[in-house]
Structure 1
Amino acid sequence: MKLTDSTPSTPETTQLVYHTAGKPKTPLASSAGNARDLICFSHLRWNFVYQRPQHLLSRAAQQYRVWFLEEPIWADQLYLNEQHQSDSLTVLVPHLPHGTTPDQAVVLQRQLLDEFIQQKRIVDFVAWYYTPMSLLFSDHLQPQLTVYDCMDELSAFWGAPPHLLEQERKLLDRADMVFTGGYSLYEAKQKRHRQVFAFPSSIDFAHFSAARRPQPDPADQRALANPRIGFSGVIDERFDYQLLTELAQRRPDWQFVLIGPTVKIDPALLPQRPNVHYLGMKNYKELPVYFANWDVAMLPFARNESTRFISPTKTPEYLAAGLPVVSTSIRDVVRTYGTSDFVQIADTAQAFEAAIDRALRGNHPEHWADIDTFLSENSWDHTWASMNRIMTTQLSMAIEQ
């Protein structure tokens, strides 16, 4: 039980408009050389699922002015929207005119970026990439340091751009260092760059350990019976909906609770049964309240190309919440948690059912003290401090040369 490639044509010059919201930024001194700014190029939205980019860059904002540049959205005019998350972290959202061609989109994003850097008088900065595709409009920049934080093998995801691998090759050629979101990714990249460092999924222990104490049951799951087996995360091509379907059929007395958005897959593929409950996306702050009222947490990931290199952030979050965890044999889960007997590994519905049943009877895991020691040594604070130390060392060496 739960513990309490051609050069694009240039369109006509367009007047730029900047939309801002929230408080102005306060410049901060940086601990990495002379760089005071960090520009992040992301394929993920800041206000989507709270995960690795948010954890790391919210901490980076203690040393840098962080500018989180998202992918563009379509609008009636060209402008760059600024959304201030804090005094030193701003989300930038390019708005491109309807009907803009892909080649024009590259030119317009470059134009927006250049005007923005000039307006903010950004000179010495760190370029931090989550998506190699952003090189299409940023390859002319001259940052003091270029970091590729490779959190996923994006080329393995459905709908990946056809030129992504070529763009990644270019990014690897430019990057001063590569951070990876797991050990499998590290092994995949280590021979492709001289400086690759593995930083697997970490944990905000204080946040999620609140689930170990009694919490009021949220309204949308209050009426559900027990036991409850929960999943929190994006439901996409990585999710094994066939496994969940069979589990729900085998155990109609168990309630399967799923939190998170459904993207890139047909919702009709997901099991529609009385004991399967889709509660939608929740705010990061709300998650411990939901976790506190579950009995077991699950990671029912499919074993395919899209999951070959993943290191699920939810694994340590579940454990910090005091939840027993059952997962399919995702490589980084097995090597990090399965061999330590922190997480039960099962791939068939029968084995998954048996593992959940074992957890419900209080027979797994057995060594919570060891789990907590492991979690305390793998905090997001520690991960960011280690990353920034590597960056600072690299910049200091460059300055001395």
Structure 2
Amino acid sequence: MPNHWLQSAKEYVRPYYLKWLFFRLQSQNCPTYFRECWSYPAASPDPFHAGAQAPAEAAASSGKPDILFLPLADWHTRIQRTQHLALTFASLGYRCFYVNPHLGREFPAVFPFSPKRILTNIGPRIQELHVHLPREPVFHHRCLSSAESGTLTSAILQLPFSQTQGAPIIITSFPLWADVAHALKLRWGSRIVYDCHDLMTGFGNIAPDLLEAESALLDSADLVIFSAQALFDHYRQLHPGIETRSILLRNAVSCSDFAPDDGADPARHPAQAGHTPTVGYIGSLSSWFDVELIRFAAAARPAWRFVLIGRIENPRVESLRSLPNVHLHGEVPYAGLARHLATFDVGIIPFVRNALTLSTNPIKLYEYFACGLPVVSATLPEVERYSDLVYLADDPKGFLRQLDMAMAESDSTLACRRHEIAAGESWRVRCQDLERRLGLA
């Protein structure tokens, strides 16, 4: 049997296996974000009913075009770049529509017994579209078929977009959606913005046809935004002339999200008597997380706490549980991050240096800065931009030396400077830059 037929057969069977057997027998393996996405109210009235009128909020005129987000990240996993852009654009008065990338796997029932399309309200001026495709494709395994892209396009066209504010802007951050985006452009005359925020080839699990689709998207997008200079430089070599329709739009932070609850100075770095020195990390614990740096440092500083917050995606991280001063907290809701960061004395970015991480612009750097924290990081180009405010190391002994120096930091002006930088590197500033580039401001 040809490989594509075998893959297709597996895709048709997998939803039944997962929902009727695996998730029922091992409910702990059902991702929490498959449940959390249904805690939001459905849009009312249902835009997919014939003759339905747009809700009052959706119909309200702001003088701004709507924005359609075709993302890589599920809104309900971890608040990342695309969600921040949507939240900020919504705060600026744009109505945003966000498509869930799981395309059916998040639905409790299998396709024949499930609604095919659901629209939910997930925040002021933000709605999320769930579309149930029969095969529930895993979004990094393959491109969508023409029929699947057609189903998605049809569902999106029925959303309550404004008819008076010009064509919606399409912001896509993954090549899976390329055919959908181009079909909508033909229908609406929209501009396609490709948000290139990671080196796709660096992940290792992205299907070859998706990498080919990304190359085509880079050539066809009306605007490409890059999150890091290294990404910009990499693709400028592969796609000559792309710089004429590209901008560098780095990651950022909303400082108000990390303001202390007690009103204390966010740039304070506590060194109180009886305080347990705490080294902290927030983010994915994946293949790029350097387990050995943490193992060495935690063993060398048994009186310190090492707090790792994030979903474990690399089995090697589990081995750190054997160290009594390493605490694996799992995923923490974005709204709870400030409370945890307030307990940190030092924030860390212990990444393995490879093509992916050398091209990344870590959001956590700005979040640590928003709290005034000293940061110990691997030597990454985007972190080196702040070399006078961070501590850089790439081997266990060097990482430990830099942790010692960061923990002993006593110059309060450094914390203030970090906070000032974070205040200037805000998501609002980023969205306003994008507005100007699109001629919307």
TM-score range, shorter chain: 0.7 to 0.9
User: What residue in structure 1 maps to residue 74 of structure 2?
Assistant: 45
> Structure 2 matches for 1:165-244, cutoff 5 A?
165-191=211-237, 192=239, 193=242, 194-210=244-260, 226-244=276-294
1:384 partnered with 2:424: no
- Pick from 284, 303, 307 the counterpart of residue 253 of structure 1: 303
Whole-Å Cα distance in 1 between the matches of residues 403 and 347 of structure 2?
A: 9
1:84 partnered with 2:113: no
Change (3 A) 1:149 1:28: farther
* Alpha-carbon distance, 1:57 to partner: 0.9
* Alpha-carbon distance, 1:130 to partner: 0.4
Whole-Å Cα distance in 2 between the matches of residues 98 and 207 of structure 1?
A: 38
Change (3 A) 1:243 1:212: farther
Change (3 A) 1:354 1:160: same
One-letter amino acid of the structure 1 residue matched with residue 120 of structure 2: Q
Whole-Å Cα distance in 2 between the matches of residues 360 and 212 of structure 1?
A: 23
User: What residue in structure 2 maps to residue 12 of structure 1?
Assistant: none
User: What residue in structure 2 maps to residue 305 of structure 1?
Assistant: 355
1:145 partnered with 2:191: yes
Q: TM-score, normalised on structure 1?
A: 0.82
Choose between structure 1 and 2 for higher RCO, CA contacts under 8 A separated by at least 6 residues: 1
User: What residue in structure 2 maps to residue 73 of structure 1?
Assistant: 104
SS at match of 2:117: strand
One-letter amino acid of the structure 2 residue matched with residue 358 of structure 1: M
User: What residue in structure 1 maps to residue 401 of structure 2?
Assistant: 354
* Alpha-carbon distance, 1:211 to partner: 7.0
SS at match of 2:439: helix
1:162 partnered with 2:212: no
User: What residue in structure 2 maps to residue 221 of structure 1?
Assistant: none
Whole-Å Cα distance in 1 between the matches of residues 389 and 418 of structure 2?
A: 7
- Pick from 124, 129, 132 the counterpart of residue 175 of structure 2: 132
Whole-Å Cα distance in 2 between the matches of residues 345 and 227 of structure 1?
A: 19
State the Cα RMSD in Å: 2.9
Q: Confirm or deny: 8 A CA contact 2:281 2:348 kept in the other structure.
A: yes
Whole-Å Cα distance in 1 between the matches of residues 230 and 144 of structure 2?
A: 37
Residues 53-91 of structure 1, C-alpha deviations (whole Å, 9 max, x = no match): 111111222343211112113342261222211342111
The number of residue pairs the alignment matches comes to 364
Q: Confirm or deny: 8 A CA contact 1:233 1:259 kept in the other structure.
A: yes
Change (3 A) 1:83 1:174: same
SS at match of 2:247: strand
1:115 partnered with 2:165: no
Q: Confirm or deny: 8 A CA contact 1:243 1:349 kept in the other structure.
A: yes
Change (3 A) 1:267 1:243: closer
Percent identity over paired residues:
26
Q: Confirm or deny: 8 A CA contact 1:343 1:365 kept in the other structure.
A: no
One-letter amino acid of the structure 2 residue matched with residue 94 of structure 1: V
Whole-Å Cα distance in 2 between the matches of residues 273 and 312 of structure 1?
A: 27
Segments of 5+ residues of structure 1 without an aligned counterpart are 1-5, 10-18, 216-223, 397-401
Higher helix share: 2
* Alpha-carbon distance, 1:31 to partner: 5.7
Higher strand share: 1
User: What residue in structure 2 maps to residue 220 of structure 1?
Assistant: none
Q: TM-score, normalised on structure 2?
A: 0.75
Residues 140-186 of structure 1, C-alpha deviations (whole Å, 9 max, x = no match): 22142110111111221131121222111211222111111122222
One-letter amino acid of the structure 2 residue matched with residue 354 of structure 1: R
* Alpha-carbon distance, 1:278 to partner: 0.5
